[in-house]
Amino acid sequence: MYRIRLLFSKTGSAKFISHLDLMSTLARALRRAGVRLSYSEGFNPHPYLSVALPLSVGCGSLCELVDIGVEDELNPDGLPEIINPALPDGLNILDAYLPQRKFIDIKWIGLSVSFHYDNGTPVGAAKKLEERFAADIINVTKKSKKGICTINIAQFIRDVAFTGSDVVNFSVKVSAQEPSINPKDLIAAFDGDYSRLAPDHSSFTRTEVYDRDMSVFR
């Protein structure tokens, strides 16, 4: 088996494709493109597809990574051109290459976030939100393998920058693994005195993934 890494985007209506359906969609597109996938052994063989960081339904991304196992030693350079025509709108292969690093080396995710308020953006929202995310303690309740726990996510958030008027937009980097900080955790930060700043609607897009040294991971 040979491994190839694909960098792809997931935008528009494709944001609502679940992780399992995404795996099926990618496998189907690869087969249609004539790529011979490697399969697991056993009574229920499945194609070797390993996504770096599964994405929550409804979230977009410009930097998704998936490793695929193939039977033939391929030159990955031409793969985006032959795979993209077989993918649905919103899924787009941006690059293909031989992986040099393991996904465990990913530490940070860059996010672009928009908060929407049905009755207008609260006065001074960006400033107050920036104040909230700059706090030393931001306790939220998370579900883990060990059950429900409270975690201070402040140390796992960095580089927050707010803009916007009717819509509050901001960029932020959050921990990708151990622990994984997800959009629900950011929303959960609006408690107590900050509860009025909780958005009625929000959108999240992954913009980049980084290692511990804040270098782009590929």
Domain boundaries of the chain, sorted by first residue: 2-100, 105-210
Instruction: Say if CB 199 and CB 95 are below 8 A apart.
Output: no
| CATH 3.30.70 for domain 105-210 | yes
Instruction: Say if CB 142 and CB 151 are below 8 A apart.
Output: yes
Residues constituting the chain: 218
Let me know if the fold of 2-100 is the same as that of 105-210.
yes
| CATH 3.20.20.450 for domain 2-100 | no
Helix, strand, or coil (residue 99): coil
Q: What are phi and psi of 88, to 5 degrees?
A: -70, 165
Spatial distance between the Cα atoms of 89 and 95, rounded to a whole number of angstroms: 17
- Alpha helix stretches (DSSP H) within 73-118: 79-83
Tally DSSP H helices, then E strands, for the chain. Answer: 4, 10
Q: What are phi and psi of 18, to 5 degrees?
A: -70, 165
Instruction: Say if CB 22 and CB 13 are below 8 A apart.
Output: no
Contacts of 72 (CB under 8 A, 6+ apart): 2, 36
Spatial distance between the Cα atoms of 120 and 196, rounded to a whole number of angstroms: 12
Look up residue 181 and give its DSSP letter.
P
For residue 160, what are its two tokens? Answer: 């927050």
Spatial distance between the Cα atoms of 4 and 187, rounded to a whole number of angstroms: 36
Contacts of 139 (CB under 8 A, 6+ apart): 150, 151, 152, 153
Per-residue pLDDT of the chain (218 residues; tens, 9 = 90+): 899 999 999 999 999 999 999 999 999 999 999 999 998 887 888 899 999 999 999 999 999 999 999 998 888 999 999 999 999 999 999 999 999 999 999 999 999 999 998 988 888 888 888 889 999 999 998 877 777 889 999 999 999 988 766 678 999 999 999 899 999 999 989 888 888 888 999 999 999 999 999 999 99
Instruction: Say if CB 87 and CB 32 are below 8 A apart.
Output: no
